[in-house]
Amino acid sequence: MIRFALFGAGFIGQVHGANIAACPRTKLQYVFDVNAEAAHKLAGRFGAKVAGSVEEVFAADDVDAVLIASSTNTHADLLSAAIKARKPVYCEKPIDMDLARVKAVVQEAHDNPVPIMMGFSRRFDPNHRALRQTVQAGEVGVVEMLHLVCRSSAPPPLAYIKVSGGQFRDQTIHMFDLLCWVAGQAPVEVYATGASMMDPAITEAGDVDTSMLILKFADGALCHIDNSRHTGYGYDERIEVFGSEGLVESRRKPIRDVAIYKGDKVIEDGMYAGWFERMEPSFLLAIDAFAAALEGETGIDYPTLQDGLRAQMIAEAAVASLKQGKPVQIEYWQPG
Ligand SMILES: NC(=O)c1ccc[n+]([C@@H]2O[C@H](COP(=O)([O-])OP(=O)(O)OC[C@H]3O[C@@H](n4cnc5c(N)ncnc54)[C@H](O)[C@@H]3O)[C@@H](O)[C@H]2O)c1
């Protein structure tokens, strides 16, 4: 049983808290949030203790691992504290918005390794996993093209967009991680273009809500990502991989796979209302996989801090490409 201390009792902290409590391999031991009321509310739901400070969590002898689900600007410091305390960490993305801080904490983790999983929970979606297994088994031959679609049903609040780092660092980052994980290699170049089609305030905030990106791999393979912050039909995420011997797709997932045939019409279920409704089951699978790895199970594949860094470097190059209006080479920094 892996006893977790959870930092952050906001939206995603509540999701993780419930999953840690539900997963047979894990126990929610402590919750810490600077908003003590939120911490008490969440801890109370699952019989966990409320920690009075970050220091109290790391001094406790009944904590086996920590989960960082607090605001983005706290991740780097909490990661650093966990590394110093030799505690395994599940950390929500992104590592930090500031690349210098990202590099510093990745270097620290490199020098003093502890298991660190990044919150790229989409990797645990059963359809995406099956697609990746098919590609990695060579069943579609050599990968020539990838197509990823990520369209949210509605944009987050403007206040969130203003501090999110923009669509690529906030939304597309999940696709950057997925494309590397599926293709088994990282792109070398990105061309990104976009616009704000739905709200001039998003343009004023320096962001886009509609974008397309073309990424190139060293072997010539190409990837196309299509993003939107708003659809009129729910959350739309899918992946297609086109190879020398075939094609595999992780399709649009309807709420139920049921069709009603009536007269000259066929009525089928549409998409889940939002990204969370579509992806919710993957969060529990992600916790279970990390706990299994910590328990010593071998062959568990989970996204690491290095994967978080890689996705972030692609996002930085995409932001530069959008600003410059031309393709940009992606620079991958590595700790030395
Ligand atoms: N993987 C995903 O799909 C996904 C989805 C949503 C959010 N996230 C990430 O999770 C993080 C939290 O997002 P959210 O939507 O839950 O935000 P939120 O604002 O709902 O919650 C953040 C919580 O962190 C608390 N907090 C702030 N400083 C703290 C500190 N020093 N110690 C402990 N708690 C502190 C706040 O009081 C708040 O309760 C963000 O980094 C976000 O990018 C990831």
The residue whose CA is least distant from atom 31 of ligand 1 is: 74
> Nearest-CA neighbor of 56 among 73, 38, 75, 39?
39
Cβ-contact 312, 102 below 8 angstroms? yes
**Residue that finishes a domain, picked among 89, 114, 139:** 114
Closest C-alpha residue for ligand 1 atom 6:
12
Which pLDDT does position 164 carry in this prediction?
A: 86
Prediction pTM value: 0.96
Classify each residue of 19-48 as buried b or exposed e, where b means 16 or more C-beta atoms within 10 Å of its C-beta.
bbbebebbbbbbbbbeeeebbebbbeebeb
- Which letter, b or e, does each residue of 113-148 get, where b requires 16 or more Cβ atoms within 10 Å of its Cβ? ebbbbbbbbbbbbeebbebbebbeeeebeebbebbb
pLDDT score, position 163? 85
Residues contacting 216, CB < 8 A, separation 6+: 187, 188, 189, 190, 222, 223, 327
Gap from CA of 283 to ligand 1 centroid (Å): 15
- Out of 6, 12, 89, mutate this one to test ligand 1's pocket (max ligand atoms within 8 Å of CB): namely 12
Count of domains for the chain: 2
Sequence-distant (≥ 6) Cβ neighbours of residue 223 within 8 angstroms: 145, 146, 147, 148, 179, 183, 187, 213, 214, 215, 216, 217
Looking at the structure, tell me whether residues 209 and 315 fall in a common domain: yes
201 shares its domain with 253: yes
> Can you tell me the distance from the alpha carbon of 126 to that of 248, in angstroms, rounded to the nearest whole number?
14
CATH number for 267:
3.30.360.10
Is 135 within a domain?
yes
Q: Is 64 part of a structural domain of the chain?
A: yes
Q: Report which ligand 1 atom has the smallest distance to the Cα of 15.
A: 16
Q: Domain containing 71 — which CATH number?
A: 3.40.50.720
Cα of 33 vs centre of ligand 1, distance in Å, is 10
The residue out of 94, 114, 134 marking a domain boundary is 114
35 Cα nearest atom in ligand 1:
37
Task: Write out the two tokens for 259.
Answer: 């069709």
Q: Measuring from atom 37 of ligand 1, which residue has the nearest CA?
A: 35
Tokens at 45, concatenated: 């739901």
Residue numbers of the domain that contains 99: 2-114
Q: What is the CA(252)–ligand 1 centre distance, in A?
A: 28
Pair (108, 133) in one structural domain: no
- At 95, phi and psi to the nearest 5? -65, -50
Tell me, in angstroms, the distance from the centre of ligand 1 to residue 7's CA. Answer: 9
Q: Which numbered atom of ligand 1 lies nearest the CA of 164?
A: 43
In sequence order, the β-bridge partners of residue 235 are none
Which residues form ligand 1's pocket by a CB distance below 6 Å? Answer: 7-13, 32-35, 38, 69-72, 74, 92-93, 119, 121
Question: Do 144 and 85 share a structural domain?
Answer: no
Each of the 336 residues of the chain gets a pLDDT tens digit; together they read 999 999 999 999 999 999 999 999 999 999 999 999 999 999 999 999 999 999 999 999 999 999 999 999 999 999 999 999 999 999 999 999 999 999 999 999 999 999 999 999 999 999 999 999 999 999 999 999 999 999 999 999 999 898 888 999 999 999 999 999 999 999 999 999 999 998 899 999 999 999 999 999 999 999 999 999 999 999 999 999 999 999 999 999 999 999 999 999 999 999 999 999 999 999 999 999 999 999 999 999 999 999 999 999 999 999 999 999 999 999 999 999
* CA 219–ligand 1 middle distance (angstroms): 38
Pocket probe for ligand 1: among 7, 32, 56, 70, the residue whose CB has the most ligand atoms within 8 Å is: 70
Mutate to test the pocket of ligand 1, among 7, 31, 71, 169 (most ligand atoms within 8 A of CB): 71
73 CA distance to ligand 1 middle (Å): 9
- Cα 159 to middle of ligand 1, angstroms: 14
Residues 105 and 147 in one domain: no
Give me ligand 1 centre to Cα 151, in Å: 22
* C-alpha 77 – ligand 1 centre gap (Å): 14
